[in-house]
Structure 1
Amino acid sequence: MTGPMQPFPDGTAAPDLSRVEVIAPNFKQRLSGVTSTIVQLVPLQARTVGIATLGPGLPDSLPKLRWWQLADLWRRPASGRKRIWHARRNVEMIGGIVLKSVLRMPLHLVFTSAAQRDHRPFTKWLIRRMEAVIATSARSGSFLEVPHTVIMHGVDLDAFHPARTADDGFAASGLPGKYAVGCFGRVRAQKGTDLFIDAMIALLPDRPDWTAVITGRVTAEHRGFAEELKRRIATAGLQKRILFLGEVPEIKAWYRRVSLYVAPSRNEGFGLTPLEAMASATPVVASDAGAYAEMIVEGETGSVVPAGDGSALTAAIRSYLDDPEMAKAHGENGLAHARTRFPLSREAHEIAQVYNQVWSRGG
């Protein structure tokens, strides 16, 4: 490092590049897990380092560079050290390589990998050109062939919190039953929505106190999948107890209203929803996709089952539906676990340490 990191006033319409030392590109218009990570992290990072985003699909509350400002990247910031280009997708790694190696801009390249699969040769080539690599879980790190640092995502403990008012209780929803079990996210086979529906069809007829809620968008390509699930529910006569709510305006409240959260994904990158549930004092039954198994403490904050195993998923959910007191206790355990191990501030701090290591190496 050439000096201490300087505070940066976030929210500036067109940030002063002389104070920007880190650029977080976001080259995808549609909301995704990566976009959500940037939206949550940048305001925290902006408290200790000059950071700005670049690209579409981000709220105006974030410090955002304009495309025309790229021409000024040939000049170093006031600190004198090279800026860090922190990519999270292949296209962003490509952009950084072009700026650094083709246009000869003074940049350091950092990449965060959440993928849990063997990378294609081109992706491996891109990763080898990064100066530092972060893996979002030990599992994703196992697919990397370069030195890396594992930094698991954190959760915003101010945004996701236990019930505080009557509006946070399930009764405020006006839906039938005493307890709710939820499954949130895009409705599609990858997310295992069908596994959740099948479990609910098997379990709810004998458990009248429970209602199931599914939230999330149904895109055009998955509309047929969703319609088939609704047909199964209708055939079982459970239309009033297994409910598709669509995209809800305030998903945070639903984490507080449900007594059990289920994350049945067949495959996942990282997957933040179990952390959001635990931060809301809600226990989690999840598949072992993504980083779920690294978040959940088996038998204490929830349960993890093999991805795609509907029978195991149903059995794990059954134990909570039959014992609401256990669900409550595991929810409290999950809250303590999230606060201790997964605060968003911890993630921001550990990323800052990687930045400092890169700057200390210079070059």
Structure 2
Amino acid sequence: MSHKVMHICLSDGWGGLEMYPGRIIPELKRQGWEPHGLALAGSAVAASLVEAGIEPLTVPSRGRALLQVGRVLAYLKRQGIDVLHCHKSSDLRLGALLATLKPGLKLFFTDHMGVTRAKKDLYHRWAYGRVTRLFAISEATRARNVAAFPLPADRIKRLYLGIDPEPYRPRLSEAVCDALRRELGVPATSVAIGLPGRLTDGKGQDLWIEALGLLRERYPDLAWHGVVIGGLTAAEGSDEAYVSRLQAQVASLGLETRIHFAGFRRDLPRLFEALDIVCVPSRNEAFGLTVIEAMAAGKAVVGTDSGAIPELLDNTCGRLASPQAPGDWAEAMAELGRDPELRRQLGQAARHRVLADFTLAAHVSSLVEEYSQA
């Protein structure tokens, strides 16, 4: 076997799905594989692959990719690549066609989003019929995958995502951390409660803001400051209309001096050090990468009790609350906000959980085992 793989991601967006190939490429190399990439010309995905150390093959559009199947096939043969890995369901058209034209080519697909409707018509039976293994990123999504895809259950494997925990290890001096808190608008004596993630409907920022309003009412003696971390424009991956609604919600609750919109930041591992509590109120998260990032940083995390988050987080290392109950969120934040020792204990347990179960090295090790054995 050649130990070469091409990751196909023909997306012009930028989110967890699009970040994935660039994130795992260095670890693939470390584990003895030669990664290649296929992306849209000029896309953020293509740029991330270059940054990760490979020069991807590019196509001008998804439609043109199908027209250039001969070019892609010639590249695979020239490079001796016999493993493909797709990350968008629309990319399976190309992947399945390549697998049909090149017998022996192994085709893998990761469902990053969590399928919401059945895909068992004639086209999907053909496309998914060419898939060697489908990876679900949580047990919650695997259950939906088994019901929705025209594949036997034994060809659908749960493979949790992972991160390199080292960048999240706390390292700032107290003085630098205090300066960062001031930059985020956090008063010196306040508990910093952060919510990182794209500002789009479904991520739960509106629920969190409502919960902070209740926190102020129920616990007027608790000094806290909220920090929203995420881009404020469409170019930064956020929904600008939704951002405007959030800002109006903050104003209507009179929380302008208690909640700071930090905008897009590239220094999230360091921002975690400036926070005391991290909240992830996404309503139906397929995995919850932000959850394990905050856990790796040793933070006390409050997450939703729906989607895949309960697979990552429990009462031994954090707190769960309903995405329909802002009052429950207020109580969870109050419990953690009033007890620094509890925050420390939960954060320590959370980091140990990531080191045991959610490292990038372990994820890629399982991945290449599948590449090799299939």
Show the counterpart of 1:35.
Answer: 18
| CA-CA distance at 1:325 after TM superposition | 1.8
Show the counterpart of 1:336.
Answer: 352
1:293-332 aligned at under 5 Å gives the runs 293-296=310-313, 298-332=314-348
Give the Cα–Cα distance (whole angstroms) in 1 for the partners of residues 86 and 307 of structure 2.
20
Show the counterpart of 1:16.
Answer: none
Do the aligned partners of 1:53 and 1:64 also contact (CA within 8 Å) in 2? yes
Q: 1:46 to 1:290 in 2, by over 3 A?
A: farther
Do the aligned partners of 1:26 and 1:35 also contact (CA within 8 Å) in 2? yes
3-state SS, counterpart of residue 180 of structure 1: strand
Do the aligned partners of 1:112 and 1:133 also contact (CA within 8 Å) in 2? yes
1:213 aligns with one of 215, 227, 249: 227
* Structure 1 position 203 matched with structure 2 position 215: yes
Q: 1:162 to 1:331 in 2, by over 3 A?
A: same
Q: 1:207 to 1:106 in 2, by over 3 A?
A: farther
Letter in 2 for 1:92: D
In structure 2, runs of 5+ residues without a counterpart are 60-70, 147-151
1:65 aligns with one of 50, 56, 60: 56
Show the counterpart of 1:283.
Answer: 300
Show the counterpart of 2:89.
Answer: 90
| TM-score normalised according to structure 2 size | 0.82
| CA-CA distance at 1:120 after TM superposition | 3.1
3-state SS, counterpart of residue 25 of structure 1: strand
Do the aligned partners of 2:193 and 2:275 also contact (CA within 8 Å) in 1? yes
Instruction: Give me the CA root mean square deviation.
Output: 2.4
| CA-CA distance at 1:335 after TM superposition | 1.0
2:274 aligns with one of 247, 257, 269: 257
Do the aligned partners of 2:172 and 2:270 also contact (CA within 8 Å) in 1? no
1:100-139 aligned at under 5 Å gives the runs 100-101=99-100, 103-104=101-102, 106-121=104-119, 125=125, 126-139=127-140
Which structure has more helix as a fraction of its residues? 2
Q: 1:74 to 1:249 in 2, by over 3 A?
A: closer
Letter in 2 for 1:57: A
Give the Cα–Cα distance (whole angstroms) in 2 for the partners of residues 218 and 257 of structure 1.
21
3-state SS, counterpart of residue 348 of structure 2: helix
Show the counterpart of 2:367.
Answer: 351
Do the aligned partners of 1:211 and 1:241 also contact (CA within 8 Å) in 2? yes
Deviations 1:291-321 (A, max 9, x none): 211111x222111223333222222222111
Give the Cα–Cα distance (whole angstroms) in 2 for the partners of residues 168 and 95 of structure 1.
49
Show the counterpart of 2:261.
Answer: 244
Q: 1:124 to 1:269 in 2, by over 3 A?
A: farther
Do the aligned partners of 1:170 and 1:180 also contact (CA within 8 Å) in 2? no
1:226-241 aligned at under 5 Å gives the runs 226-241=243-258
* Structure 1 position 46 matched with structure 2 position 33: no
1:101-180 aligned at under 5 Å gives the runs 101=100, 103-104=101-102, 106-121=104-119, 125=125, 126-145=127-146, 146=152, 147=154, 148-166=156-174, 169-174=177-182, 175=185, 176=187, 177-180=189-192
| CA-CA distance at 1:71 after TM superposition | 4.4
Do the aligned partners of 1:265 and 1:287 also contact (CA within 8 Å) in 2? yes
Give the Cα–Cα distance (whole angstroms) in 1 for the partners of residues 75 and 247 of structure 2.
52
| TM-score normalised according to structure 1 size | 0.85
3-state SS, counterpart of residue 181 of structure 1: strand
Letter in 1 for 2:55: K
Letter in 1 for 2:74: D
Q: 1:117 to 1:35 in 2, by over 3 A?
A: closer
2:284 aligns with one of 252, 267, 270: 267
Do the aligned partners of 1:25 and 1:92 also contact (CA within 8 Å) in 2? yes
| CA-CA distance at 1:105 after TM superposition | 6.3
Give the Cα–Cα distance (whole angstroms) in 2 for the partners of residues 156 and 244 of structure 1.
27
In structure 1, runs of 5+ residues without a counterpart are 6-20, 359-363
Do the aligned partners of 1:85 and 1:108 also contact (CA within 8 Å) in 2? yes
Do the aligned partners of 2:76 and 2:82 also contact (CA within 8 Å) in 1? no
Deviations 1:178-197 (A, max 9, x none): 32010011223210100110
State the number of aligned residues: 336
Q: 1:117 to 1:30 in 2, by over 3 A?
A: closer
Q: 1:158 to 1:37 in 2, by over 3 A?
A: same
Q: 1:270 to 1:167 in 2, by over 3 A?
A: farther
Q: 1:118 to 1:29 in 2, by over 3 A?
A: closer
Do the aligned partners of 1:264 and 1:308 also contact (CA within 8 Å) in 2? no
Show the counterpart of 1:13.
Answer: none
Q: 1:124 to 1:320 in 2, by over 3 A?
A: farther
